[in-house]
Amino acid sequence: MNKTFAVLGAGMQGTAAAYDLAKFAKPAKIHMADVSFEQAKQNAWRVNDLVGSAICVPKEINALDPASLGNFLEEVDVVLSCVPYWMHPKVAKVAIGSHCSMVDLGGNTEVTLRTLAMTEEAKQAGVTLVPDTGLAPGLVNNVGQYFLENLDSVETIRLYCGVLPQNPKPPFNYKLTFNIEGLVAEYEDQAVTLTNGEIRLVNTLEELEEITIDQLGKMEAFTTSGGTSTAPYTFQGQVANYAYKTIRFPGHCERMKIFKDFGFWSLNDVEIDGKSIKPRHLWHKLMGDGLAQFVDKDLAVVRGVGIGKKDGNDVQWQIDIFDKEDELTGFTSMERLTGFSCAIYASEIAQGLTDKGCLKYENAMKGTKLLSELEKRGVGITYKLG
């Protein structure tokens, strides 16, 4: 392929994405960029050691400095934005100005819409931008796409995803695998669904249900935001019901709902000892530090259920993904499913297989193809298509 890629944000997901590009995309070079040169250097060397090649080059870049970022991106064909979700539109604007294509990990639908609004500028620059190419949103919705691509008609798509510790510990039975700000956004903001053909906004930490996972037993699933992103709007008219829930160990939802109901995630200032603070920022600090102390290997579960018709028959198809932290590379399941998915989209763009402009991820690539690519990477996928 001989293209130059850049990974902006040399953290967990970004490093896994760089590894995937190095192994599968045949790159000329991969710039591993971060505001911390030490982190960029450490993880660039990690990827180089894993693939046995000096393909990754560390760079110190402040993504919020447009001039510095713009100069950096001028020699890059595709940049993978693996920074906190609120920064993606800022990076997108600079990428377009530098004639550089881009993918990002998503995390907030309103933020994604700001990137998608730049589509005319992207077309004029001759580049492609695809937000939301991570796990959820992203991979989990590619499972939903599979049903739409392979069933004759679809009435209902139910999607589930959870990244969990292999050895859960109370009271939360949870391991923080991504930014604490993103976790609160998932639990606090409203979720977008399709219900009987109509777009509906639903409250999060609601609609609790029991779900059985073969490898784990009885689990719980509940509404969270961001997982569907733009898909309900895109698929309206093609499917009547489309919804996403997060999977956790039983009891997690109830405990988290206490923080939500009692205002711990409020962004309204409160005065304590003469000082004004935002409860959510305090919660980010305390809970983020607390959860970070729990060290454990992780696992990821994705489930999709598609109900519709095939060859004139009523069918219910189910796709399950169960992935564990990889002992050989040291990449967690969260890193693998998120970073690898993002890299697959970046490779698709680099090969010239996508249209120009800012594309919704569900329009940029076939779900069937993405699942096939993940299987090539050793991700276990079970299809129950009876």
Mean pLDDT of 14-39: 96
Residue 86 has pLDDT above 80, yes or no: yes
Mean per-residue pLDDT for 286-313?
92
Average pLDDT of the residues in 132-161: 96
- Maximum C-alpha span of the chain: 69
CATH topology (fold) of 139-333? Dihydrodipicolinate Reductase; domain 2 (3.30.360)
The domain limits of the chain are 4-134+335-366, 139-333
Could you confirm whether domain 4-134+335-366 is CATH 3.40.50.720? yes
pLDDT computed for residue 109 by the predictor: 85
Higher per-residue confidence, 277 vs 180: 277
pLDDT digits over 204-228, tens only? 999 999 999 999 999 999 999 989 9
Q: Residue 179: is its pLDDT beyond 90?
A: no
Give 14's contacts (C-beta < 8 A, 6+ positions apart).
7, 8, 32, 34, 43, 80, 82, 339
Tokens representing 381 are 């996928």
Q: Report pLDDT for 37.
A: 96
Q: Tens of pLDDT along 40-80?
A: 999 999 999 999 999 999 999 999 999 999 999 999 999 99
Q: Which residue has the higher pLDDT, 184 or 119?
A: 119
Residue 349 predicted with pLDDT over 80: yes
pLDDT score recorded for residue 213: 96
What's the mean pLDDT when you consider all of the chain?
Answer: 94
Q: How far is it, in rounded angstroms, from Cα 95 to Cα 116?
A: 13
Per-residue confidence at 118, pLDDT binned at 50, 70, 90?
A: very high
Q: What's residue 110's pLDDT?
A: 86
* Confidence label for 295 from pLDDT (cuts 50, 70 and 90): confident
Does the pLDDT of residue 171 top 80, yes or no? yes
Q: Name, in order, each residue with C-beta under 8 angstroms of 353's C-beta and a sequence gap of 6 or more.
A: 365
CB within 8 A of 23, min separation 6: which ones?
51
pLDDT in tens, 228-264: 999 999 999 999 999 999 999 999 999 999 999 999 9
Tell me the whole-structure pTM to 2 decimals: 0.92
